Amino acid sequence: MDSAFVEQVTSTRMFTGRLAVVAGAGRSGLAAAKLLHKLKATVRIVDSNENLSTDILEGLGPDTELMTGPFCEEQFAGADVIIASPGIPARKIAPFIGNLPERAIISELELASWFANEPKIAITGTNGKTTTTALIKHILESAGRKAFAGANYGTPLSEFIAADGKADVLVLEVSSFQLQNCRLFRPQAAILLNISPNHLNYHEDMDEYLQAKLKIFERQSEDELAILPADMKNELDPATFTKAEVKWFDGSTFEEQPNLPGFHNRLNIEAAWLALEKIGLTREEFEAGLKTFEGKPHRVQEIGSVDGIRFIDDSKGTNLDAVRAALDTFEGPVHLLLGGVFKGGDVSEIIPAMRGKVAEVGLFGAGREHFEPALKDEFKISWYENLEKAVRALFANAQAGDIILLSPATASFDAYSGYEARGDDFKRIMEELS
C-alpha cells in the first residue's frame, strides 16, 4: 500500500462495500471494526476463541459477521484488507489469505492513522512508554493544548477517530506488535526510548523485535524528528531507517525529579522534552508541567510502609531491563519479588544490578525454572506458589529500613488478568500486614 492508495481510499469512499476482516476481537480489533463500519465497509471479525459471544458485535452494525475458531482460509475468504490486532503476527494469518498480498495485512494503528491529520508524537521502546506518553499528555494540557493519549495503552486510535475526537496533538504509545504491520504511519516526532529482550515469545528473535520498533521512523521526512537513546549510538545507524532529523538523548538535560525517581525517568523526561520542543512548547511550559506530573501507578511506586519496611510496586516491570532500572533507584537492602510468565532474555544480566543490594529473592508462581538456576549461587532464594505467600515470607525476614520490591520481570497471566491486578493484590497484601 502506498500514499496514493490511501488518498484514494479516503477521498473516494473506497471502503464502501469492501470486505475488511479484523483478526482479533479485543478492544483494538473492535475499535477497528467500528471505524470500518463507519467507513461503510463490510466487516467480518475472526478470533481463535470459540467461546466468544455475538454480544461483542453490539453497536457494530447488523451486517457485522463473527467467525471463531482456529484461523483458516474460510475466515479470510474474499477479504480486500485485513486488520491484525496487536499480538497477532502477520505470519499467523498469511497462510490463509489466498492470493491477497501480505501487504494487505495492516495494524489497527495504521488504519486509524490514515484519518488522523493532527500532529503526532509517537513513543515506543521496551520500557517507559506509558510513563512518557502520560507525561507528554500532561505537559501539553498544562500548557493549554488539547491532547489525546492512547493507541497501545488506553484508548485505541480507531476508537478516537470513529468518535470524531478532537485534539491539538495525538500522543501515541506504540508497540512492536502494532508497528510491525504499519506501512505509512508517520509521526512528526518519534521516540525510541530503549531496547532490551522482550516479547520473544512473539517475535522470532531480537533482530525482528528491533526492526519492528524502528518502523516508527520509516516514513518520516527531513522536517520531522527521530529521537534516539545515546547508549545505542554504536548499534544504530539512523541513515538506514529514517530520513528525519535525529537527536540523541542521554539523561543529562534534567535533574532527577522527586515525582519521577530514577535515572531511567531522567531519560524519559529528556526524550519527552525533545518531542515537545519539536512541536513548539517552550522550556518554561515544559518545566511547569513536569513539576505537577504524578507518576503512573505500578511503576516504581511507593505504596506504603509497615513497621518501617517500604513497599515498592513495580508490577509493570515485566522484563529484565525494567528490574535493573527499578533496582538502580534504591540503595537497599532490597527483598526482591520475581515470578510469572517469562518473556525472554538472559537472567544473569541483572546480577550486577543486584549485587550488594538484594538481600534475598522471593520467587512466586510461574517462571521458577528461569530464575532459580541463574541466581541461586549468589543470592538467598526461595519459591512460593503465589504472591501472597512470597510477600509474607519476605516481610518476616525484613527489618525497618529495608525495601520489599515487586519488580517481577514477567507477564502476570499465570495468576492475574494483568499487571494492574498483580500490583493491586500486592497492595492488598501489604495493607493486611499492618
pLDDT digits (tens, 9 = 90+) for 189-206: 999 999 875 444 554 667
Contact 339, 408 (CB under 8 A): yes
Confidence label for 428 from pLDDT (cuts 50, 70 and 90): very high
pLDDT at 4 over 70: no
Measure the CA angle with vertex 422, ends 417 and 428; round to 5°: 125
- pLDDT for 199 equals 47
pLDDT tens, residue by residue, 49-71: 999 999 999 988 888 999 999 99
Among candidate residues 434, 430, 431, 315, the one with its CA nearest the CA of residue 365:
315
pLDDT at 334 over 90: yes
> Which amino acid is it at 98?
G
Q: What is the 3-state secondary structure (H, E, C) of the chain?
A: CCHHHHHHHHHHCCCCCCEEEEECCCHHHHHHHHHHHHCCCEEEEEECCCCCCHHHHCCCCCCCEEEECCCCHHHHCCCCEEEECCCCCHHHHHHHCCCCCHHHEEEHHHHHHCCCCCCEEEEECCCCHHHHHHHHHHHHHHCCCCEEEEECCCECHHHHHHCCCCCCEEEEECCHHHHHCCCCCCCCEEEECCCCCCCCCCCCCHHHHHHHHHHHHCCCCCCCEEEEEHHHCCCCCHHHCCCCEEEEECCCCCCCECCECCHHHHHHHHHHHHHHHHCCCCHHHHHHHHHCCCCCCCCCEEEEEECCEEEEECCCCCCHHHHHHHHHCCCCCEEEEECCEECCCCHHHHHHHHCCCEEEEEEECCCHHHHHHHHCCCCCEEEECCHHHHHHHHHHHCCCCCEEEECCCEECCCCCCCHHHHHHHHHHHHHHHC
Which residues face 413 on adjacent strands? none
Which of 113-117, 299-303, 388-392 has the largest mean confidence?
388-392
Task: Name which residue leads in pLDDT, 284 or 176.
Answer: 284
Query: Mean per-residue pLDDT for 77-87?
Result: 92
- pLDDT for 7 equals 52
Which residues have a Cβ under 8 Å from the Cβ of 396 and sit 6 or more positions away? Answer: none
Average pLDDT, the chain: 92
Confidence label for 9 from pLDDT (cuts 50, 70 and 90): low
pLDDT at 5 over 60: no
Confidence label for 253 from pLDDT (cuts 50, 70 and 90): very high
